Amino acid sequence: MQIDGKWSTVEIISGRVQGKTIVAQIKDVDNTDKAEQIIGVDIYVEKSQLPELKDGAHYWDDLIGLEVINTASIHLGVVENLVDTGSNHVLIVNGNTEHWVPYIEPYLISVDIDKKRIIVDWDENF
């Protein structure tokens, strides 16, 4: 957890998903005053603590920096970020221009983490 630019390690006792956030009970945060001080604070976990994903699924962090090529073998750029539109995820690809490519079929053809490459069915001029 990072507060005022300083990292501290915390122990999560329990947690649950609530809407698009996670509500967590943190060890030694046992009263309202302590809890109010950390409302909205981001909690980070080591990647090694995350569950393994099913084949074909990827954490966003694994996609950032991958080269994006369309089916015509044209380099569109590199994944800079992803956004969740509510209906699907979108790759933000920066090259000569910025492309917002839906991260769903039929636009997403393949993801190869080892080759650091994503192939998409996306027009270079769109």
d(CA 101, CA 78): 12
- Token pair, residue 50, equals 């995350």
Q: Give the pLDDT of residue 77.
A: 98
37 and 68, same structural domain? no
Into how many domains does the chain fold? 2
Query: What 8-state DSSP symbol labels residue 4?
Result: T
115 and 75, same structural domain? yes
Residue 76 lies in a domain: yes
69 and 101, same structural domain? yes
Q: What is the pTM of this model?
A: 0.72
> What number of CA atoms fall less than 13 Å from residue 53's CA on the CB side?
8
Residue linked to tokens 């080759």? 115
Contacts of 16 (CB under 8 A, 6+ apart): 22, 23
Asked if 70 and 76 touch (Cβ cutoff 8 Å), the reply is: yes
Residue 114 lies in a domain: yes
> What number of CA atoms fall less than 13 Å from residue 58's CA on the CB side?
20
pLDDT (tens digit, 9 = 90+) per residue, 78-94? 999 999 998 999 999 99
**Residue of 76, 81, 62 lying closest to 107 (CA atoms):** 76
Confidence tier at 10 by pLDDT (50, 70, 90): confident
The amino acid at residue 15 is: G
Residue 79 lies in a domain: yes
76 and 36, same structural domain? no
Q: Give the pLDDT of residue 76.
A: 98
65 and 24, same structural domain? no
38 and 83, same structural domain? no
What is the bridge-based pairing of β-strands 2-3 and 108-112?
A: unpaired
